Amino acid sequence: MAKTNAGNFFEDFTIGQVIEHATPRTVTEGDRALYGALYPTRFALPSSAEFAASVGLRNAPVEELIAFHIGFGKTVPDISLNAVANLGYAECRFHEPVVAGDTLTTRSEVIGLKQNSNGKSGVVYVRSTASNQRGEVALEWARWVMVHKRDVGSAAPETVLPDLAKVVAVGDLVIPEGLDFTEYDFTAAGEPHRFDDYAVGEKIDHVDGVTLSESEHMMATRLWQNTAKVHFNEQARPDGKRLIYGGHIISMARALSFNGLANAQLVSAINGGAHTSPAFAGDTVYAWSEVLDKAETAAPGVGALRLRLVATRNRDESMTLRGEDGKYADGVLLDLDYWAFVPR
């Protein structure tokens, strides 16, 4: 009996299948500190227990993306160990803010399957939910990956394509219990810009850049117990390079976006995202944002901004997403579409 995990192949997935992922993970203050050491984050809410309390949140939530990375990482050994590519995600919503002491567990349900015409691989769609020790949902998301078949000759399953929203509707955003921005302290938060100061279509160049290093991306990826081999082992790829986990770029870009979006305090939903180019140690990453939409919410003083967050290799002051050919411009690493809460 082979003892090691070879991961699932395309034919191992069936519609409706539920997978309970391994390794429950208790979040600690150590995670918060490491996140702050790895990313230049300065958002006041996860930085300060006092600030969090001042906007109605208890127990000092950690950065939302910590929950995202941990939840996502748990699915890797079962879903994407044999992935050809991570194709996308959608309908990611953050529910209960995660605090130190919470233990996260992730389960996934297979919601779509489509074999590729070449017969060698197929696309698997899963909806995943990370919950805490009280069974409360911390976040949920859908994603789809292209996975190798074990046996090219095996029969194709019936094609099922899930109906995934292109954008999470504002009414579906989850307002953390107690959130209230009416007494929001703009001085402590670092910028004066509020909901009304942002216009749809506006672009913000976040100015700052960070040169990536091997140790940092590996430490981040391990911290989330993400086991994809290509991130840690320079012998795992023909080019001898360690591919940087896409989530590392998301967190880096989100942290850089503080400069101009300091009041986009809470990531509430991720509508979709594309990792458009691989990143490696030595690359210098910059970010820019575009306001895609804005909406009021039911919470006191709380508005929502729908933002495009773009990470680039080298700075692009022109903030060009796509070339005239419609393809992503050279140097674009990440195109992320998300909702954040801002004070009105």
Beta carbon of residue 39, minimum distance to a copy of itself (angstroms, whole number): 7
Count the residues of the shown chain that bind a copy of itself, applying the rule CB under 8 A: 76
- 323 touches a copy of itself by CB under 8 A: no
- 148 touches a copy of itself by CB under 8 A: no
- 34 touches a copy of itself by CB under 8 A: yes
* Residue span binding a copy of itself (CB under 8 A) among the ranges 20-28, 113-121, 157-165, 322-330: 20-28
- 278 touches a copy of itself by CB under 8 A: no
- 47 touches a copy of itself by CB under 8 A: yes
Q: Which of 193, 294, 306, 308 binds a copy of itself (CB under 8 A)?
A: 193
Binding mask 100-139 for a copy of itself (x = CB under 8 A): xx-x-x---------------------------x------
- 32 touches a copy of itself by CB under 8 A: yes
Q: Which of 58, 296, 314, 323 binds a copy of itself (CB under 8 A)?
A: 314
| Residues of span 239-268 touching a copy of itself by CB under 8 A | 242, 259-262
Six-digit token string for 272? 């979709």
- 23 touches a copy of itself by CB under 8 A: yes
> Residue 172 or 197: which CB sits closer to a copy of itself?
197
Angle between helices 246-256 and 214-223 (to 10 degrees): 100
- 218 touches a copy of itself by CB under 8 A: yes
Q: Which of 60, 139, 304, 333 binds a copy of itself (CB under 8 A)?
A: 60
